[in-house]
Amino acid sequence: MSTTTIAPAPAPAPAPAPAPRLLGKVALVTGGASGIGESIARLFHTNGAKICIADMQDNLGNQVCESLGDEANVCFLHCDVTEENDVRNAVDMTVAKFGTLDIIVNNAGISGAPCPDIRNVDLSDFDKVFNVNVKGVFHGMKHAARIMIPRRKAQSFLCAVWQVQWEG
Ligand SMILES: NC(=O)c1ccc[n+]([C@@H]2O[C@H](COP(=O)([O-])OP(=O)(O)OC[C@H]3O[C@@H](n4cnc5c(N)ncnc54)[C@H](O)[C@@H]3O)[C@@H](O)[C@H]2O)c1
């Protein structure tokens, strides 16, 4: 009795690598030295963006940049988002280094101490959280808009990772 052997089906050709979705885009990521902001910076870089990380943690921010190993397309700037001048400088330095600004991710944020009872809230804690999470985001929006609106560059203008996303 003869046996017929069936040749295995050829393996499907590997799918072509997706085109980097942010090729050539310039992004400023606040709070990009750690946590979600670091992941955003890494993901954007993988997708071809030029990245400026702005954070108060200089050592961590510089480490992230070094680990990406792409000095021409990645940089770190010290920035406290509660200080308007720091945010102004971060935006201006990003434009000076990379020529423009396409994306801002206002990710820097703090949670503040947990306080389950409003009657015990220390208003100085409230002010700290407000200054980073609200005023800091406003500074980012204001100074990114200063660059983006005249250049009609706002293809993607992220507000804060937990707040609002506007795309236009
Ligand atoms: N992790 C969560 O589950 C979660 C949930 C909801 C919202 N969020 C928000 O997402 C954002 C990132 O969260 P995360 O978990 O990565 O936090 P994280 O604490 O790990 O990272 C925050 C980063 O922001 C930086 N930062 C803090 N204050 C700053 C300031 N004044 N100026 C510049 N940089 C500053 C920190 O140095 C740090 O690198 C925050 O805005 C946070 O409030 C996080």
DSSP sequence for 4-65? PPPPPPPPPPPPPPPPPTTTT-EEEEETTTSHHHHHHHHHHHHTT-EEEEEES-HHHHHHHH
Condensed to tens digits (0 to 9), the pLDDT of residues 2-39 reads: 567 788 888 888 887 778 899 999 999 999 999 999 99
Q: Is the pLDDT of residue 163 over 70?
A: no
The pLDDT of residue 164: 42
Residue where the block lists tokens 């988002």: 81
- Both tokens of 122, joined, read 């220390």
The pLDDT of residue 1: 57
The pLDDT of residue 168: 42
The pLDDT of residue 20: 87
- Enter the pTM of the model: 0.87
The pLDDT of residue 14: 84
Condensed to tens digits (0 to 9), the pLDDT of residues 100-125 reads: 999 999 999 999 888 899 999 999 99
Domains of the chain: 26-111+121-166 (3.40.50.720)
Residue 136, number of CB atoms within 10 A of its CB: 27
Choose among 166, 21, 19: nearest CA to 105.
166
Residues 53, 65: Cα–Cα separation, whole Å: 8
Which of 28, 34, 52, 87 for mutating ligand 1's site (highest number of atoms within 8 Å of CB)?
34
Q: Is the CB of 33 under 6 A from ligand 1?
A: yes
The pLDDT of residue 15: 84
Judge whether 28 and 4 are in contact, CB under 8 Å.
no
Ligand 1: centre distance to CA 3 (Å)? 66
Confidence of residue 41 (pLDDT cuts 50, 70, 90): very high
The pLDDT of residue 151: 87
The pLDDT of residue 160: 57
Q: Is the pLDDT of residue 152 over 90?
A: no
